[in-house]
C-alpha cells in the first residue's frame, strides 16, 4: 500500500485526495455556517454558472458543446464546492485503483501523465452519476419551484451566444419569485438576438423558447 502511495506515478492522485479532504472540510463549514459555497459559486463567470441544464445530454443539439458538457455534469445544480469534492475523490481513488491493478497484473505503474488522462476520462461518467444522485436528494425550495412555461411573457437577457432561427442561445430570465433561470431561446422570426440584448419570451416549443427583442423599455429583466 505504501509503495503505491509513495510511487511518483501516483503522486497526482495523492494530491487529488489531499485537495478533496481540504475542500471537504470547507464544504462542511459551508453547510454549518453558510456562505462559503455560495461565494465559490459566485466566482464563476455567467457563462459557467448559468449553463446548468442537467436534463440536456451530450447528444443534445440545442446547446453548444461546452454548455452540454457542463449540463451533463450538473454544474450549477449542486454546489460547485461539492462537485469538486466528488470529482477529486473519484479521480484519486480510480487512479490508485488503476495503478494498483496494473502493478499487480503487469508488474509496473503507468506513466503518471498518461494515467491521469485516462482516469480523467473514466471519472466523468462516475461523477455524473454521483452528482445526479446528490441533486435528487438535496433539499429544494418548493415555494419557488415553477414550470418553465410560466416564464413566457417575461424579459430576459441573452448571456451566451447569438440566437438565430434553428440555433438557440442561452437566456437569463427571472421568475415571479425573483429566482434566476437559464433557458435556451431562438428568435420568433428571422431576427438575430445578440449577446447582451434584452428579449421577451413569447412562446415555447419543446424545451426551446421563442423570443423577440424587448419591445418596451418598461419591461425589465
216 φ/ψ angles, rounded to the nearest 5 degrees: -140, 130
Domain boundary among 116, 137, 158: 137
Domain range enclosing 159:
145-213
pLDDT band at 63 (very low <50, low <70, confident <90, very high): very low
Determine, yes or no, domain membership for 59.
Answer: yes
If one compares 72 and 169, the residue with the highest pLDDT of the two is 169
Give the Cα separation of 190 and 145 in Å (integer). 33
Percentage of the chain exceeding pLDDT 70 = 75
Provide CB contacts within 8 A for 137, sequence distance 6+.
none
Contact 58, 72 (CB under 8 A): yes
Determine, yes or no, domain membership for 221.
Answer: no
Q: What is the pTM of this model?
A: 0.57
* 154 in the same domain as 91: no
Report the number of distinct structural domains present in the chain.
2
Amino acid at each position: 500500500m505504501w509503495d503505491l502511495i509513495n510511487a511518483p506515478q501516483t503522486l497526482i492522485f495523492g494530491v487529488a485526495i489531499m485537495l478533496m479532504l481540504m475542500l471537504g472540510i470547507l464544504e462542511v463549514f459551508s453547510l454549518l455556517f453558510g456562505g462559503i459555497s455560495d461565494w465559490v459559486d459566485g466566482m464563476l463567470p455567467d457563462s459557467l454558472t448559468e449553463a446548468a441544464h442537467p436534463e440536456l445530454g451530450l447528444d443534445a443539439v440545442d446547446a453548444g458543446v461546452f454548455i452540454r458538457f457542463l449540463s451533463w455534469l450538473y454544474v450549477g445544480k449542486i454546489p460547485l464546492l461539492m462537485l469538486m469534492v466528488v470529482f477529486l475523490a473519484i479521480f484519486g481513488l480510480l487512479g490508485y485503483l488503476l495503478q494498483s491493478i496494473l502493478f499487480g497484473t503487469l508488474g509496473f505503474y503507468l506513466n503518471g501523465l498518461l494515467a491521469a488522462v485516462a482516469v480523467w476520462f473514466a471519472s466523468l461518467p462516475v461523477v455524473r452519476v454521483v452528482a445526479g444522485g446528490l441533486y435528487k436528494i438535496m433539499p429544494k425550495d418548493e415555494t419557488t419551484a415553477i414550470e418553465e412555461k410560466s416564464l413566457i411573457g417575461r424579459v430576459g437577457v441573452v448571456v451566451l451566444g447569438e440566437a438565430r432561427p434553428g440555433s438557440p442561445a442561452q437566456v437569463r430570465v427571472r421568475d415571479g419569485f425573483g429566482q434566476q433561470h437559464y433557458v435556451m431561446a431562438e428568435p420568433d422570426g428571422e431576427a438575430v438576438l445578440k449577446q447582451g440584448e434584452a428579449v421577451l419570451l413569447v412562446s415555447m416549443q419543446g424545451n426551446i423558447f421563442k423570443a423577440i427583442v424587448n419591445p418596451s423599455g418598461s419591461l425589465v429583466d
